[in-house]
Structure 1
Amino acid sequence: MTWKAITLMAFMTVWGFGNVVNGYAYFNGVKSIVSWVIVFVLYFIPYSLIVGELGSTFKESGAGVSAWIEKTFSKRLAYYAGWTYWVVHMPYISQKPLNVVIAASWAIYGDKRLSTYNIVHVQIVCILIFLCVLAFAQFGVKMVKHFCSVAGMVSIVLSFMFILMAVSAPAIRGTEITINAVPQDLASYIPDFNFGYFASFSILIFAVGGCEKISPYVNKMNKPGKDFPKSIIFMTIMVVVCAVIGTIALALMFDPLNPPKDMVTNGAYQAFQQLGNWYGVGDIFVKIYALSIAITNFAVMILSIDAPLRILIESSDEQFIPAKLKKQNKHGTYTNGTIMITIIVLILLIIPLFGIGGVNDMVSFLIKLNSVCMPLRYLWVFLAYFGLKRLLNQKAEYVMTKNALIGKILGAWCFGVTALFCILGMHNNNIYIMILNVLTPFVLIGLGLIMPYIAKKQREKLQN
């Protein structure tokens, strides 16, 4: 594979238009530009290069992070890595039904009326959608992967189209459109480095994560040692450019320094709607975008139920996984594992209703909760790299650094940054939401401590 192919693959894995919108909403419009540069230069580049070396070193390890931890530490820690990777998908899955409902509402009505609906009624619809997804998941995921790929590609193409058409609209459409004035002074782009800023930084960490998916392809490059870092640096430049231009495009439509309160809920759709108005095509852009988002989120739910569960069960040693979790139906779906997912996700869908009063608040809560939970799986990547640098005679096609001390420092840096901002991200002025932000990751990961005990009791029962 060429470095250009890896660059494109990494870009599509990491980036999306929703990241630009969330950054704009949480980091005060154009002030988010500096934040994107900071997170990519100081965090993403070492993170992705670490992943590249791990993938190149353990090229036969198909289980990814769990296998890396097993090779560098132990089977028990490998199980906990697999459990973390699986269980943090529960809040992720619980967010998707609401995304589907919002997207479907925009596709049908072309406005943000859903934000005014009773949150209890909306969550009931979300629960019904989730139960529908579970029914589909029982029949395997082969067809779903195809739909997800097509819908995902449509949304990516539309995202690029939006950025290009929005920034060029003033020149093309002239005086026919009304745009905001983008700030010209440098001070308007400097973030407010206060506690609120750092408490939201986990959203950026979450946005740039997931590049471990490209690790299996490092050894397939022509010259991994030279080409992989080049592809990552080039991809980082691409993402930063997209973040900058995308943010400026949004600033033409929304207040550059004070985004609307419902930006995370409706901002992307309003942006495509405005683009359609600028070019005189009505709601065609927002309808297509909303439909692609609804289909993608529906399909991603099914994939997120199946794939992480399969990785957990198939990559963990039997002494840690209860035998009953390995029960499969004729389609190869792990039925008891799916039941466990159902219970956890339904709890996550219901509990927030007791302290969250509206759709916009629910969307914001779920984004923040995911930014706290999902990056916890990255901690195992950095721990594996730290462990790798303790070992001798590990040969790889690509090595980020041959100096063990520097490698350990970089691994510890990324580990510390991830852990710190996950902890800070738990803060919220609403005490109920803050309690949920704190308890959810601890309870979900803590459940993993119970499974080996259950597995042990089952083995003892069979022996007796």
Structure 2
Amino acid sequence: MDNLEVQNKKKMTWSTLALMAFSTVWGFGNVINGYMYFGGIKVVFSWVLMFALYFVPYALIVGELGSTFKDSGGGVSSWVNETMGPKWAYYAGWTYWACHVAYIAGKGTGGLRAMTWAIFQDVTKFDQASTVGIQFVTFLLFVAFCWLASRGLTVLETLATIAGSATFIMSILYILMMFAAPAINPAVSFHSINLSWKSLVPNFNVNYFTSLSILVFAVGGCEKISPYVNKLKHPSKDFPKAMIVLAIMVMISAILGTIAMAMMFDPNAVKNNFDSYISNGDYWAFQKLGNYYHIGNVLLVIYAITNVIGQFSTLCLSIDAPLRILLGSKEAKDFIPAGLLKKNKYGAYINGIKMVGILSGAIILSQSLVPGAAKVMSQLIKLNSTMMPLRYLWVFVAYIALRKARDKYRSDYVFSKHQGIAYFFGVWCFLITGACCLLGIYSTDPFALTLNIVTPVVLVALGMILPTIKNYQDKKAEEN
């Protein structure tokens, strides 16, 4: 009995898990992108629908997978391997890695912009400068970070965690300070907010449906918390409670953040200068907030510095970490050519890093054709919103496969005991994710449309070609 009490004391409470998940899933950029893409206050309606119909079942599905495969350390790839076999696990791992190719290109661009804000507190000249020159500098920075990644530096993980935590704290601080601003500085003229039903319901047009990938991208990633499911005192009761509280916290943050943005930015001004607001909205928000409190650009500089550290440290980690997950998996030696598995003396997959350099570097250099740095940032955000959610598809595939073979597995937590309900939400979340990714590809800009199509096609094709090359190598080895 004493041992059981000691074990229970070491267990995690549901409230702790909810707070951990909140800091992992949510960020200030989600509020910014939602407000800009969905016409201001109208995004509230979409946030509520997304949380209720997608995020909650998604999180509960992740809970059952994490609880069932509590000893599997590879995340989604491990789940797919357990339920469908190594070949499908390879494709899941490849998708997870491939999604980071465009993400890496965006981090370099975002880091350079954050550095400009931190140093000059203004990006007017930066946005008016030659795109060729800016993308060339971005490419050189990217090459430098590829070199750093090849040296196996681990201190960057700590920097990324610190910067991420600081940015998260500042996003909460922004909401609190913004709501207090009218009382602190009543002389400021804030925008009036109309919360009537008519003003909240969005226009269900082409732009609306092709932007939904932004919201899916914002609420995704909760599979990162799956290892903690079995650390709860009562997984079957505590996990759904934690996820529902998480959804409520995220929804409140999204709604209050949106209202705070509406007090500050006119949706019509955003619409007329969309690319600039998408690229600089978060910096302008902290700049304005500092002015409200008569402290100048202090908040802006702090936010920009944390963003510089966060963007560049995440850039380096994103070059190395997803590659290690892919090439270090059990499936790697069976489906990936031996050349890519080569390590240098620092333990880094040197040829894999070169592959990242070629693919992400091509996206960076191709952006030289885009007119203006703000447009570059805007396009990369949209590309990431259509690419990154592709990895979530494997979560739902693994879940459907798990439920088909549920007699084979035991779990301390089950999303639903009813097979029909479990299948419905597994298929539902898969279809929502897939549809949003496909719709997100559409753009009226020919270059953006081409980039949104070519990037996933090339990466999928490469993922399918590598096992063929591996088979060819194995046959040649047998013949010799």
TM-score normalised over the length of structure 2: 0.94
Structure 1 residue 340 corresponds to structure 2 residue 355: yes
How do residues 163-312 of structure 1 correspond to structure 2 at under 5 angstroms?
Answer: 163-175=175-187, 177-256=188-267, 258-259=269-270, 260-261=273-274, 262-312=276-326
Q: In terms of mean alpha carbon deviation, does 238-247 or 450-459 score higher?
A: 450-459
Whole-Å separation in 2 of the counterparts to 1:230 and 1:141? 39
For 1:87-119, what per-residue CA distance to the aligned partner results, in whole angstroms no more than 9, with x for missing partners? 110000010111011111111111231222221
Whole-Å separation in 2 of the counterparts to 1:208 and 1:184? 24
Partner of 1:69: 80
SS of corresponding position for 2:380 = helix
Whole-Å separation in 1 of the counterparts to 2:233 and 2:268? 45
Contact 2:23 2:165 in 1 (8 A): no
Partner of 1:145: 157
Contact 1:182 1:256 in 2 (8 A): no
Q: In terms of mean alpha carbon deviation, does 404-413 or 79-88 score higher?
A: 404-413
Partner of 2:63: 52
Partner of 1:364: 378
Structure 1 residue 127 corresponds to structure 2 residue 142: no
Whole-Å separation in 2 of the counterparts to 1:343 and 1:63? 26
Whole-Å separation in 1 of the counterparts to 2:58 and 2:260? 29
SS of corresponding position for 1:389 = helix
Whole-Å separation in 2 of the counterparts to 1:91 and 1:216? 27
Partner of 2:171: 159
Output the aligned Cα RMSD.
Answer: 1.2
Cα pair distance change 1:138/1:449, threshold 3 Å: same
> What is the one-letter code of the residue matched to 2:424?
I
Structure 1 residue 350 corresponds to structure 2 residue 365: yes
For 1:167-212, what per-residue CA distance to the aligned partner results, in whole angstroms no more than 9, with x for missing partners? 111012222x221111243311111111210011001101111111
Q: In terms of mean alpha carbon deviation, does 165-174 or 111-120 score higher?
A: 111-120
SS of corresponding position for 1:396 = coil
Partner of 2:128: 116
Partner of 1:428: 443
Partner of 2:412: 397
Whole-Å separation in 1 of the counterparts to 2:46 and 2:268? 14
2:426 to 400, 411, 417: 411
Partner of 2:7: none
SS of corresponding position for 1:174 = coil
Partner of 1:380: 394
Deviation at 1:72, TM superposition (A): 1.1
Q: How many residue pairs end up in the alignment?
A: 462
In structure 2, list runs of 5 or more residues that go unmatched.
1-11
Whole-Å separation in 2 of the counterparts to 1:99 and 1:184? 33
> What is the one-letter code of the residue matched to 2:463?
G
Whole-Å separation in 2 of the counterparts to 1:117 and 1:403? 59
> What is the one-letter code of the residue matched to 2:293?
Y
Partner of 1:31: 42
Whole-Å separation in 2 of the counterparts to 1:287 and 1:325? 41
Partner of 2:4: none
Structure 1 residue 3 corresponds to structure 2 residue 8: no
Deviation at 1:14, TM superposition (A): 0.9
Whole-Å separation in 1 of the counterparts to 2:328 and 2:72? 13
Contact 2:135 2:367 in 1 (8 A): no
Q: In terms of mean alpha carbon deviation, does 151-160 or 177-186 score higher?
A: 177-186
Contact 1:95 1:366 in 2 (8 A): yes
Partner of 2:109: 98
SS of corresponding position for 1:61 = coil
Whole-Å separation in 2 of the counterparts to 1:184 and 1:388? 43
For 1:127-152, what per-residue CA distance to the aligned partner results, in whole angstroms no more than 9, with x for missing partners? 01111111211222420111111111
> What is the one-letter code of the residue matched to 2:234?
K
> What is the one-letter code of the residue matched to 1:352?
Q
Whole-Å separation in 2 of the counterparts to 1:163 and 1:351? 37
In structure 1, list runs of 5 or more residues that go unmatched.
none
Partner of 2:466: 451
Whole-Å separation in 1 of the counterparts to 2:408 and 2:326? 29
For 1:390-449, what per-residue CA distance to the aligned partner results, in whole angstroms no more than 9, with x for missing partners? 002421111101222221111100000011111111111122321221121121111111
Partner of 1:319: 334
Whole-Å separation in 2 of the counterparts to 1:141 and 1:164? 37
SS of corresponding position for 1:252 = helix
Structure 1 residue 88 corresponds to structure 2 residue 88: no
Instruction: Calculate percent identity across the aligned residue pairs.
Output: 47
Deviation at 1:66, TM superposition (A): 1.0
> What is the one-letter code of the residue matched to 2:148?
F
> What is the one-letter code of the residue matched to 1:179?
F
Whole-Å separation in 2 of the counterparts to 1:2 and 1:457? 52
> What is the one-letter code of the residue matched to 1:73?
M
TM-score normalised over the length of structure 1: 0.97
Deviation at 1:376, TM superposition (A): 0.6
